[in-house]
């Protein structure tokens, strides 16, 4: 099927120009400059940049602070993705049935998508509040363990993971629901006739069929968690207690804009670039293979 085309010579360039301009000026140029800055030491109050080779990178890779932030990032991104993708799938499976008031449920389930992670973080900050929060209050009936995020890093991490995963839930549920609804009922019914119970039908038929959606969501949630979660950390924990929730984007901002160590901050940007390229390659690799069929 040949697409009818217009013959103008200059018009397509004119149409693409604004977007290309934004792309070059605000994306390519700064990204290239990240590479440049990463091999220099820039005096914070002006003056000449000093070429330092890979010093900024070796300085990062030989300190435990940076390793900690890498580990925190993966724990955070893994936690957010696991919680919101698995939770999203379970809820979507529950909502994929013929019952009364379904549209109402579906609207309510989409809501968290409309809540900014930082705002969600502040709501959960109160729920986790060591003195006034309902969560520590309920825990106090069960155990004497001090449920205080200000003292225990893992609770702070659980706080920001829960808040972030909550905001991703709506999006994931919407995608899983669409995926579940695209499965022909005849396929599931056939398995039912063959004697497969609901759990077996789900794991043997439904799960493989929606694996492309699952994979897409895993990558999207990872990217969101890695690169879009500065707000929740800044609004809630400021990376603390200690460095417990200091994920890579937070450390990068802190070193660059508070510590004014532009070289180190740029080197961290370059390392993050490797992460995002890795995730993108993964996405395209699996998208080609289609995962399931």
Partner 1 sequence: MLAAHVLLAAATLVIVFPMLYAVQVSTLEFQDVFVFPPKLLPGGAFADNLRRAWEKVHLGRLLANSAGIAVVVALGKICLSVMAAFAFTYFRDFPGKTLLFLAILATHMLPLPVRIVPTFQLMHDFGWVNSYQALTVPFFASATGTLLFRQFFLTIPPALSEAARVDGAGPLRFLVRILLPLSVNNLAALFLVEFLYMWNEYLWPLIVTTSDEMRVVQIGIKMLVATDAQAEWNLIMAGVVAAMVPPLVVLLALQRSFVGSISLGQEK
Binding to partner 1 (CB under 8 A) within 118-177 occurs at 118-120, 122-127, 129, 131-132, 134, 137, 166, 169, 174-175, 177
Sequential DSSP letters for 79-131: HHHHHHHHHHHHHHHHHSS--TTHHHHHHHHHGGGGS-HHHHHHHHHHHT-TT
Return the number of the residue (29 or 67) whose C-beta is nearest partner 1. 29
Give the Cα separation of 185 and 291 in Å (integer).
21
3-state secondary structure of 196: coil
Residue 86 makes contact with partner 1 by CB under 8 A: no
Residue 61 makes contact with partner 1 by CB under 8 A: no
Residue 54 makes contact with partner 1 by CB under 8 A: no
| 41 membership: H or E segment, kind and range | strand 40-41
- Among 81, 172, 214, 269, indicate the residue that binds partner 1 (CB under 8 A): 269
- Among 1, 142, 144, 199, indicate the residue that binds partner 1 (CB under 8 A): 1
Residue 5 makes contact with partner 1 by CB under 8 A: yes
**Choices 46-54, 68-76, 189-197, 251-259 (CB under 8 A): range interacting with partner 1:** 251-259
Residue 79 makes contact with partner 1 by CB under 8 A: no
Residue 187 makes contact with partner 1 by CB under 8 A: no
Burial environment of residue 49 by CB neighbours within 10 A (0 to 12, 13 to 18, 19 or more): middle
Residue 4 makes contact with partner 1 by CB under 8 A: yes
| Least distance (Å) between residue 257 CB and partner 1 | 6
Q: Which residues have C-beta within 8 Å of that of residue 81, sequence separation ≥ 6?
A: 218, 221, 222, 225
Residue 48 makes contact with partner 1 by CB under 8 A: no
Return the number of the residue (52 or 119) whose C-beta is nearest partner 1. 119
Cα 98 to the center of its chain, rounded Å: 32
Q: Tell me the CA distances in angstroms from 291 to 29, 138, 233, 287, one per residue in order.
A: 36, 43, 34, 7
SS3 string, 144-174, reads CCCCCCCCCHHHHHHHHHHHHHHHHHHHHHH
Residues 127, 135 contacting (CB under 8 angstroms): yes
**Choices 11-19, 51-59, 63-71, 189-197 (CB under 8 A): range interacting with partner 1:** 11-19
| Least distance (Å) between residue 52 CB and partner 1 | 16
Residue 43 makes contact with partner 1 by CB under 8 A: no
**Choices 29-37, 46-54, 59-67, 200-208 (CB under 8 A): range interacting with partner 1:** 29-37
Return the number of the residue (7 or 193) whose C-beta is nearest partner 1. 7
Return the number of the residue (13 or 154) whose C-beta is nearest partner 1. 13
- Among 191, 223, 282, 291, indicate the residue that binds partner 1 (CB under 8 A): 223
Tokens of 161: 């993971």
């Amino acid at each position: 099927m040949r697409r009818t085309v217009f013959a103008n010579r200059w018009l397509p360039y004119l149409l693409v120009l604004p977007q290309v301009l934004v792309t070059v000026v605000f994306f390519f140029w700064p990204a290239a400059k990240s590479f440049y800055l990463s091999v220099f030491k820039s005096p914070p109050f002006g003056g000449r940049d000093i070429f330092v080779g890979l010093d900024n990178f070796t300085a990062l890779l030989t300190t435990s602070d940076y390793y900690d932030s890498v580990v925190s990032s993966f724990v955070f991104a893994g936690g957010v993705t696991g919680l919101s993708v698995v939770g999203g799938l379970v809820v979507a499976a529950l909502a994929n049935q013929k019952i009364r008031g379904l549209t109402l449920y579906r609207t309510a389930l989409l809501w968290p998508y409309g809540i900014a992670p930082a705002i969600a973080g502040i709501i959960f900050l109160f729920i986790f509040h060591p003195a006034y929060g309902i969560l520590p209050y309920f825990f106090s009936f069960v155990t004497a363990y001090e449920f205080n995020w200000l003292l225990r890093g893992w609770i702070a991490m659980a706080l920001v993971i829960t808040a972030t995963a909550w905001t991703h839930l709506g999006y994931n549920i919407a995608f899983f629901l669409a995926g579940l609804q695209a499965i022909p009922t005849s396929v599931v019914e056939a398995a039912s006739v063959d004697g497969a119970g609901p759990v077996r039908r789900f794991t043997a038929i439904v799960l493989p069929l929606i694996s492309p959606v699952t994979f897409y969501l895993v990558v999207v949630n990872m990217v969101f968690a890695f690169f879009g979660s500065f707000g929740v950390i800044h609004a809630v924990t400021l990376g603390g207690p200690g460095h417990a929730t200091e994920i890579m984007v937070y450390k990068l901002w802190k070193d660059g804009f508070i510590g004014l160590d532009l070289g180190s901050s740029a080197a961290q940007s370059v390392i993050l670039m490797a992460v995002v390229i890795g995730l993108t390659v993964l996405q395209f690799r699996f998208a080609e293979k289609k995962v399931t069929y």
